[in-house]
A and B are shown apart, each in its own frame.
Chain A
Amino acid sequence: MPRVHLCWLAGGAALGVAVFLMGYGFRPVADTRQRAAATPSRHDPPDPPQFTPSRRLPGTLKQHPPELPAPVPPPYPADSPQHQDWIATRIADLNALAWYDDADSLHRILAELYNPLQEIQAAALTATIAFGSRDAIPCLEQLAAQSRDPKQQLALTDAIAYLRQPTLLEKLDPPPEHTE
């Protein structure tokens, strides 16, 4: 076999391995969650990795932190008429959660920062800022460090900077100084 053919074969094999690895690494979060829900037994063989670049966003992380609940996956196909209505409802739900002060509400908002849908991610970030708790900062920092989307990184760092500032109420009623 001529050397040129061998080179072509080696190149093709390398490309195949690269595509396989990319497919494994870029699996969307929602797919993982749906698959986990559909496979109750831990001993079932895992599904082969799928490469679905069209559904993945540049800044989407592979996994959400274990302390957060799983993001809610979209129940309808992206091209169905109910999909946009479901997104609008989810955005309204996230906005409503932002008006509470409990940790559970904050965790449910933060979980949606890992949602594969860009609209839900953006709404979750808006809700995180509106929630106004500094408890969100570690999660936002982790996301900013792992994100590969410059726009998302900028939005996250802006949100962190905003939340780090003192609040109006803290300035009006400063907490008593801690004395040992």
Chain B
Amino acid sequence: MWGVVLRPSARKTACLTIPNTMKAKLNAILAAGLFLLPALPLHASVDSILTVVVNCYYQQKVSTAGDTIAGNVDIVRIDSKQLLVLLQKELAVYFPRGVQLELAADGKVYVVDAKSVVVMDVSTYISATVDVGERLLNGQRNLATKQENTRNYYPITLTFNLVALHGTIRGIMVESLTAGAPDRYGFNITNEKGNAIVNGSGSFNGKTAYFDGTLNLLGRTSR
């Protein structure tokens, strides 16, 4: 029940026929909009493999005896591979072995195979908000050669919307981006490595749950 799905960036965009007078107005509006934008990201983000390592705390049981209340909190660990198994169970789909979770630059989450071919868009069930507009930049990027050695800080939010697992975790992603000199074809190999300490709340198996852990991003692309 799974098939290859093209990412939005890879899809063909529809062509619109716009009259010349409208084109001029459109250009003026776009030019004005550029000045109004408060902050533009200095570079396009990289599609990255998303690794989730989270502890989930929930109330296992509470009992009252006389004046005493006793409770037990259970802890379970949640990682990306378990999320993939949970997705397969809840959606009644099958993923081939070695599939990974990929976080696209627009916050969508895909299941991709070992060759980064998209197997399924799972953004309805796991999605992220990456606030690149609020990115703090530390380091240097050469706009002419695209060589880069920066450390970026930005808020990241990951939301689970599964039957057994529901909730949101948030943190600050600390991302290292390095891009070397252009190769003979003019492309820069960009390496991205990010880590965020996250926490949040939600529910696990219908019970109130709190989460803490880390999100790791690892990306490597040519641009």
Mark A residues whose CB is within 8 Å of B: 84-85, 88-89, 91-92, 95-96, 98-101, 126, 129-132, 162-163, 165-172
Q: How far is the CA of A161 from the CA of B185 in the complex (A)?
A: 48
Contact B79 A126 (CB under 8 A): no
Apart from A129-B53, A167-B77, what are 10 other A-B pairs with CB-CB below 8 Å? A88-B191, A96-B98, A96-B114, A100-B97, A126-B216, A162-B53, A165-B75, A166-B75, A168-B204, A169-B82
A101 and B97 in contact, given A91-B218, A165-B55 (Cβ under 8 angstroms): yes
Nearest B residue to A132 by beta-carbon distance?
A: B79
Find out whether the CB atom of B218 lies under 8 angstroms from the CB atom of A171.
no
Chain B, range 44-86, C-beta contacts under 8 Å to A: 49, 51, 53, 55-56, 74-82, 85-86
Residue in A84, A96, A132, A172 whose CB lies within 8 Å of B164: A172
| Chain B residues in 8 Å Cβ range of A163 | 77
Q: Which residues of B contact A101 (CB under 8 A)?
A: 81, 97
Instruction: Assess whether A169 is in contact with B218, with CB atoms less than 8 Å apart.
Output: no
Q: Are A168 and B56 within 8 A (Cβ)?
A: yes
Inside 8 A of B77's CB, which chain A residues have their CB?
132, 162-163, 165-168
A150→B191 CA distance, assembly (Å) = 30
Beta-carbon contact of B205 and A96 below 8 Å: no
Please determine whether A85 and B180 come into contact, CB atoms closer than 8 angstroms: yes
CB-defined contacts of B216 to chain A, threshold 8 Å? 126, 130
> Nearest CB to that of B51 among chain A residues?
A130
What residues on B are CB-neighbors of A131 within 8 Å? 81
Minimum CB–CB distance from A89 to chain B (whole Å) comes to: 8
Which of A85, A92, A130, A168 makes the CB contact (< 8 A) with B53?
A130
The A interface is mostly helix, strand or loop, or mixed, namely helix
Known: A85-B180, A91-B218, A96-B100. A171 touches B189 (CB 8 A): no
Asked if residues B114 and A170 are in contact (CB atoms below 8 Å), the reply is no
Q: Could you tell me the distance in whole angstroms from the C-beta of A126 to the nearest C-beta in chain B?
A: 7
> Is B172 part of the contact surface with A, judged by Cβ < 8 Å?
no
Q: Contacts A126-B51, A130-B53, A169-B85: A88 and B220 contacting too (C-beta < 8 A)?
A: yes
Q: Does B173 contact A (CB under 8 A)?
A: no
Chain B minimum-CB-distance residue to A172: B164
Q: Which residues of A contact B86 (CB under 8 A)?
A: 168-169, 172
18 A-B residue pairs with Cβ-Cβ distance under 8 Å, sorted by A, are A85-B189, A96-B100, A99-B80, A99-B99, A129-B79, A130-B51, A130-B53, A130-B79, A130-B80, A131-B81, A132-B81, A162-B55, A165-B55, A165-B76, A169-B82, A171-B74, A172-B86, A172-B205
Do B218 and A99 touch (CB < 8 A)?
no
Measured CB to CB, the nearest residue on chain A to B193 is: A91
B78 neighbours in A (Cβ, 8 Å):
167-168
Residues on A with beta carbons closer than 8 Å to the beta carbon of B193: 91
Complex Cα distance, B114 from A99, in Å, reads 9
CB of B76 within 8 A of CB of A171, answer yes
Shortest Cβ distance from A164 into B: residue: B77
For the complex of A and B, the 6 pairs showing the least CB-CB separation, nearest first, are A165-B77, A88-B191, A168-B78, A99-B100, A168-B76, A132-B79
Chain A residue with Cβ nearest B54: A168
In the complex, chain A residues whose CB is within 8 Å of the CB of B80:
99, 130
B205 smallest CB distance to A (angstroms): 6
Across the interface, do A100 and B98 meet the contact criterion of CB distance under 8 Å? yes
Query: Which chain A residues border B98 with CB–CB below 8 Å?
Result: 96, 99-100
